[in-house]
Structure 1
Amino acid sequence: MLLIFALSGCDQTPTGREQLALIPDSMMADFGRETFLQIQQQIPVSSDDQARQQVQCVANQLLSRIEARFPGSPLPQTWEVVVFANDTPNAFAVAGGKIGVHQGLLAVAESDDQLAAVIGHEIAHVLARHGNERLTQELGIKATLMLIGLFSEGDTDMESVIQALGLGAHLGIALPFSRAHEEEADLMGLELMASAGFDPRESIALWRNMAAAGGGQPLEFLSTHPNHDSRIEALQERMEVALPIYQQANRADCETPDQASRERVSSSGKRGW
């Protein structure tokens, strides 16, 4: 049984990159849900209805395009999107269909397109099973197979195992992805946002905003990411793929009446990137 798990873990990401992800997706989903629950117990949910509507709309547009853009990707049956009352510009997604956005991100992502760049990036981490791959590397193959053996008995309590391994929120949030994971999530997220009708060029503006918000120092969200210049250069190189996708898509529209009104007032002073 363990050999079957090991062999089935040798797979490819949606971009065709070879990966070793030995933990069953069902187990990762359980880990993700437990992690998300822990976060909800520690950080209050935002009471800003407009922020929640905006984030939910952008996420829904992106999620609706996953099967068409990345067919065959393992998907959860449902997705949950939560806006947290936290002023840091951050977002994350974990296996099990959980997406979290800090309200502070909306001060840095100046448009729905820029918000889509971040959420699309985080969804891409889940689609490419980066958490599974990274946890496989962290635990080591032997420990991973032993963990699978524990769960194959069918009588192990999920929460106690998470606590025993010291995973908790470390699994979904603090566990850093590799540079390869980040670059792959950037490019997958770019294609996903374009196919959902969000302007992929705004991803470059978003990362410039994130760099400026850090005051010369990487934000927590960017601490394990490629440097800004290399990230922007990679995104610019991928525009020749993303722009035709965007031009063929129906333009996404998540504006609330208040947002539309503000844009009309400030249209003469829009910033160009």
Structure 2
Amino acid sequence: MCNACLSRRSFLSLAAAGTVSACDGPPDLVPDAQVEAMGLQAWEQMRAETPASRNAEYQGALDAVSRRLLEEQNQRPQDWEVVVFASPQINAFALPGRKIGIYEGMFGVVQNTDQLAAIVGHEIGHLAAEHAQKRMSAQVAKSLGVRFLAWVLNVGGVEYGNEIAAALGLGVEVGLLLPYSRDHELEADRFGLQAMAGAGFRPEEAVTLWQRMQAAQGNRGPEFLATHPTPDSRIEQIEEILQTI
């Protein structure tokens, strides 16, 4: 191999030293209309695969809480669709197009409307901050970046170029995309707590909610590889936010 060619060890050393770097976050690479269309498609698929709950009490509570939070944000509740899905999962989600879903299993954790408001406010926060678009743009940037890097490595005669590109692709996933998602979660928490306070709910109930979530879900994997903050970390962050509200 010629002297101009880099060994795998040399290249990875340069990467570790910061020669190979990435920007703090990608620009919006996916149009808003496309993101919303994909969100609506995903929502229709969800509705087709998972039936809506027949528990009128659950749906009524969700409607009432959502209405207060949305009106506090100067949103028209009739423009949104919030649905309780018949599933024991302890989870909730938001999709572009003003869609929010909560699974029945979540109602086994929440004790009152304040804790339910913490969940709904958090999901509204994801949509208000356009996290879906930012997440999709990050995925596009990752795909384009790794492909370009593979081309540069091969053209430059870097030994094991394809293997290095694949390894750095994993590094992008672990080091950029997942922390970016955790930042979104904390940003949505802040939005939700502020919305709760503005709508007359008790934002401190979010701490109790996550304590109960922690007890319900048991042990989790290491935070470094999680798309959401661990319950302990989340409770700590929420307590810090509460001091500013």
Q: Which runs of 5+ in 2 are unaligned?
A: 1-23, 145-176
1:48 maps onto 2:55 in alignment: yes
Structure 1 residue 82: Cα displacement: 0.9
Structure 1 residue 141: Cα displacement: 7.8
Partner of residue 233, structure 2: 230
Tell me which of 18, 27, 39 is aligned to 2:34. 27
Structure 1 residue 193: Cα displacement: 1.2
Amino acid at match of 1:113: D
Task: State the alpha-carbon separation in 2 of the partners of residues 57 and 186 from structure 1.
Answer: 20
Partner of residue 90, structure 1: 91
1:181 maps onto 2:184 in alignment: yes
Task: State the alpha-carbon separation in 2 of the partners of residues 21 and 105 from structure 1.
Answer: 33
Partner of residue 210, structure 2: 207
Structure 1 residue 204: Cα displacement: 0.3
Task: State the alpha-carbon separation in 1 of the partners of residues 137 and 101 from structure 2.
Answer: 23
Q: Output the aligned Cα RMSD.
A: 2.5
Give yes or no for contact 2:29–2:140 (8 Å, CA) kept in 1.
no
Rg larger for: 2
Partner of residue 114, structure 2: 113
Task: State the alpha-carbon separation in 2 of the partners of residues 23 and 124 from structure 1.
Answer: 20
Q: Which runs of 5+ in 1 are unaligned?
A: 1-16, 69-74, 144-174, 243-273
Q: In the TM superposition, what whole-angstrom CA distance separates every residue of 1:2-49 from its partner, at most 9, and x where no partner exists?
A: xxxxxxxxxxxxxxx987323222221111110000011110110111
Give yes or no for contact 1:21–1:129 (8 Å, CA) kept in 2.
no
Count of residue pairs brought into register by the alignment = 185
1:63 maps onto 2:70 in alignment: yes
Amino acid at match of 2:62: V
Alignment of 1:214-253 (within 5 A): 214-217=217-220, 224-242=227-245
Partner of residue 13, structure 2: none
SS for the counterpart of 1:50 is helix
Task: State the alpha-carbon separation in 2 of the partners of residues 130 and 19 from structure 1.
Answer: 12
Cα distance change on mapping 1:142 and 1:213 into 2, 3 Å: closer
Task: State the alpha-carbon separation in 2 of the partners of residues 135 and 125 from structure 1.
Answer: 13
- Normalised TM-score (structure 1): 0.62
Task: Compare the two structures and name the one with the higher helix fraction.
Answer: 2
Amino acid at match of 1:27: Q
Partner of residue 132, structure 1: 133
Task: State the alpha-carbon separation in 2 of the partners of residues 182 and 215 from structure 1.
Answer: 20
SS for the counterpart of 1:81 is strand
Point out 4+ residue stretches in structure 1 off by more than 3 angstroms. Answer: none
Task: State the alpha-carbon separation in 2 of the partners of residues 18 and 224 from structure 1.
Answer: 16
Task: State the alpha-carbon separation in 1 of the partners of residues 96 and 55 from structure 2.
Answer: 26
